[in-house]
């Protein structure tokens, strides 16, 4: 299986795996602009070759510039690692993960880290454990910080302060979003439409840089969070029906 190294020169042609069928959508275009600004910060995207039937990718960048609520200076931090469809179960996840590990070693970094969740939206930790990663920190509701060290460096950690950040959104609906994921534009539109139908005042907090993710995000995932009246509703995409149900559950 060939691996495509997505970069500034070819990204318009290759895409970046997610939402490829909707390249003209606002979400895709926002992600594309976001990516082009991140290459200079050391971000890498490696994709399985679509022409060979490959369906998977990995996105990672140095911890100092990563868009997760993590203190990971000196580490390479993986944003996303996905292998789907017929590509699953063929060792391609390990192939992509090794690309990141080797890049981190070439740069003399301390190791590789990734935020995982056994809930939804993020990859679980099973593959990472098979390749020598260990859990070094936990965060609510279901996050673990998995790390593979290359030496005896200090472990990275979650930023913390989640409850304080959530309490700052004590009235109405607050949606924290970034352009790191191309699906978030639709997600925000659905939520704001549902809020309007329910007569709920909603606001969107645009996370425009990695520092705002660390300072403002109420979960370790960082780049997307939904808070209503001081309660965390979700850190991942919700349909209108799912969102309304969660609102109803809170009001019972």
pLDDT at 10 over 80: yes
| Residue appearing with tokens 């472990």 | 155
- Both tokens assigned to 29: 């275009």
Domain 162-251 has CATH 3.40.50.2300: no
Average model confidence (pLDDT) across the chain = 95
pTM of the full structure = 0.95
Q: Is 74 exposed, middle or buried (0-12, 13-18, 19+ CB in 10 A)?
A: middle
CATH match for 3-158 among 3.40.50.1100, 3.40.228.10, 3.40.630.30, 3.30.565.10:
3.40.630.30
Report domain extents, the chain.
3-158, 162-251
- Both tokens assigned to 129: 């454990």
> How far apart are alpha carbons 133 and 168 in whole angstroms?
34
Band of pLDDT at residue 252, cut at 50, 70 and 90: low
- What is residue 30's predicted lDDT score, i.e. its pLDDT? 97
DSSP 111-162: EEEEEEESSSSS--SHHHHHTT-EEEEEETTTEEEEEEESSSPPPPEE---H
Q: What is the mean pLDDT of residues 98-107?
A: 98
- What is residue 250's predicted lDDT score, i.e. its pLDDT? 82
Are both 3-158 and 162-251 of the same fold?
Answer: no
- What is residue 248's predicted lDDT score, i.e. its pLDDT? 86
């Amino acid at each position: 299986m060939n691996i495509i190294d997505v970069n500034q020169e070819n990204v318009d042609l290759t895409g970046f795996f997610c939402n490829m069928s909707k390249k003209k959508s606002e979400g895709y275009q926002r992600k594309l602009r976001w990516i082009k600004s991140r290459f200079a910060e050391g971000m890498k995207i490696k994709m399985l070759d679509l022409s060979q039937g490959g369906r998977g990718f990995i996105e990672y960048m140095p911890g100092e510039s990563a868009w997760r609520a993590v203190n990971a200076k000196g580490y390479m931090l993986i944003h996303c690692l996905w292998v789907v469809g017929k590509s699953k179960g063929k060792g391609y996840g390990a192939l992509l993960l090794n690309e990141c590990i080797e890049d981190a070693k070439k740069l003399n970094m301390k190791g590789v880290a990734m935020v995982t969740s056994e809930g939804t939206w993020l990859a679980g930790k099973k593959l990472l454990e098979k390749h020598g990663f260990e859990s070094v920190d936990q965060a609510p509701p279901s996050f673990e910080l998995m790390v593979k060290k290359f030496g005896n460096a200090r472990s990275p950690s979650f930023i913390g302060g989640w409850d304080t950040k959530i309490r700052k959104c004590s009235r109405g609906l607050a949606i924290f979003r970034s352009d790191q994921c191309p699906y978030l534009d639709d997600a925000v539109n659905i939520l704001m439409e549902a809020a309007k139908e329910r007569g709920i005042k909603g606001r969107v907090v645009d996370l425009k840089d990695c520092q705002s993710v660390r300072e403002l995000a109420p979960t370790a995932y960082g780049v997307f969070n939904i808070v209503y009246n001081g309660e965390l509703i979700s850190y991942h995409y919700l349909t209108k029906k799912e969102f309304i149900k969660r609102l109803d559950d809170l009001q019972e």
